[in-house]
Structure 1
Amino acid sequence: MLIKSEFVDLSTPTGVMRTYVHRPQAEGQYPVILLYSEIFQQTGPIERAARLIAGHGYAVLVPEVFHELNPIGTVLAYDDAGRDKGNADKAAKDVSGYDSDNRAMLDWAKQQPWSAKRFGAMGFCIGGHLAFRAALQPEIEATACFYATDLHSQVIPNQPGQHSMDRIGEIKGEMLMVWGKQDPHIPPAGRAKVYQDMATANLEFTWHEFNGVHAFMRDEGDRYDAALALQGYQLALELFGRKLRTIR
């Protein structure tokens, strides 16, 4: 399936948010996936991930997650400076800003002729957390979270009762949670806490822990594990196909 890539600048309460759109060239209506990047925004690996999903018959939206804090089009490098800047942005943006970002994308996508008005979410690292956050929106029917950071901690600024795990009961769709056992950013105790909270909330979810390091899906650098990445994409595509292409 051939893909076209473009972008749209969406208005949000916290400023203009550039959002990259990857979707099939063929005419038709496609389920929409909100895909959230790591702290580095839409790097090459993130764009390739989005195009991979789009190539299976989805319209994929990739927002600049820290649009309030950077010039439009900013992409941070996978180096110490990029990591430090991205982590500083993560610590500066209030979690409520992601909610309004999600609403802007969902409302815009509903108006597009290529949209089937069926929605899922997916993300990596902080993007895994932001995909989890997107699942709070009632339209999100399926969510794939890859090594989601800070669900077990309080790094992302939030008001009392607004942490993503505090609002877990609002999630209605099915969740796919994928982790690396050798990931130092989400230690065993952190993963156990997230699992217990999701189970207590009686969410519909599957849980996968691979022998992988942090960012094993990123097809650039020494952390990339191609075999595990393939399994991860297969799990996500199975979920999206089962939940977003069925008759409600």
Structure 2
Amino acid sequence: MTIVRDMALDIPTPDGVADAYLAHPDDGEPHPGVLLYMDAFGLRPSLKAMARRLAEHGYTVLVPNVFYRSGRAPVIELPDHIDPSQRPEIFAQLTPLLQALTPEPAMRDAGAYLAHLAASPLVTDGPVGTTGYCLGGMLGVRTAAAFPDRIAAAAAFHAGRLATDAEDSPHRLVDRITAELYFGHADHDSSMPADQIKKLEQALDAAGVRYRSELYEGAHHGYTQADTAAYDAEADERHWRDLLELFARTL
């Protein structure tokens, strides 16, 4: 078993200071860097546990609080078990944060996160990987497009709204991507229905991007998040297998 060390840290960005969490193998050696993008519920104990699990496999994992402009994590108070159907006020609080995180500031932040990884003695030289969940999956795709020389692999799990009619829809950016991509779509996910999946895949094919796009049958939006009502243990373990295979090939 790999011993993992972790720490809280602050990362200067063009717009302020983002609080973040870092996990890495405790062996004194640099390891490939991974930027883990949070879901909409934010930086919290369950995401830190995911970062530590990934670090056990030989990666230095950075988890920024992408809502830092609204406060340090936890930005909103969350129950130990998150079930929005029982707590509708959670999304009422999250919606303004999501709306404020438009692509331009999000990519300014991404540049700061990648610069931190590049400067860290805990990270090997060269490109890094991203893995993102829900909101984070979209941020990972945008980061791969904005920084093609820095991202070797990007995984998105139960990510929504990747191929909409909006002018800034992520699928319109994929011709800029050089990374290998992986998409683990939830079967029951109103934010990423079959027509959007098809539109995304058509854009990826047209751009010649290396990718896998798979449907996790029976899984709901949020299936990787162990502290939520959407959690699906079987789908989560599949996500770990697919993610680790991607990074083993590319990082």
Q: TM-score normalised to the size of structure 2?
A: 0.89
For residues 116-195 of structure 1, what are the structure 2 equivalents within 5 Å? 116-117=124-125, 118-136=127-145, 137=147, 138-153=149-164, 162-195=168-201
The amino acid across from 1:126 in the alignment is L
Q: What do you get for the CA RMSD once the two structures are aligned?
A: 1.6
Secondary structure class of the residue paired with 1:181: strand
Whether the 8 Å CA contact 2:33–2:129 is kept in 1: the answer is yes
CA distance in 1, matches of 2:228, 2:175: 37
- Is the aligned partner of 1:98 residue 2:106? yes
Question: Which whole-Å deviations, capped at 9, do the CAs of 1:139-187 have from their partners, x for residues lacking one?
Answer: 10011110111212368xxxx6x54333221110100011011112211
CA distance in 2, matches of 1:195, 1:32: 27
Secondary structure class of the residue paired with 2:113: helix
Q: TM-score normalised to the size of structure 1?
A: 0.90
Moved over 6 A (4+): none
Aligned residue for 1:201?
207
Whether the 8 Å CA contact 2:44–2:74 is kept in 1: the answer is no
- Is the aligned partner of 1:228 residue 2:229? no
Alignment coverage as a number of residue pairs: 238
CA distance in 1, matches of 2:186, 2:118: 35
Whether the 8 Å CA contact 2:133–2:222 is kept in 1: the answer is yes
CA distance in 2, matches of 1:197, 1:151: 11
Gaps (5+ residues) in structure 2?
none
Whether the 8 Å CA contact 1:142–1:240 is kept in 2: the answer is yes
Say which is worse superposed, 112-121 or 56-65, in terms of deviation.
112-121
Whether the 8 Å CA contact 2:44–2:73 is kept in 1: the answer is no
Aligned residue for 1:34?
35
Aligned residue for 1:46?
47
Whether the 8 Å CA contact 1:95–1:163 is kept in 2: the answer is no
Whether the 8 Å CA contact 1:43–1:75 is kept in 2: the answer is no
For residue 87 of structure 1, report the CA deviation from its aligned partner.
2.3
Whether the 8 Å CA contact 1:128–1:147 is kept in 2: the answer is yes
Whether the 8 Å CA contact 2:153–2:247 is kept in 1: the answer is yes
For residue 201 of structure 1, report the CA deviation from its aligned partner.
1.3
Q: Which of 113, 119, 131 is the equivalent residue of 1:111?
A: 119
- Is the aligned partner of 1:24 residue 2:25? yes
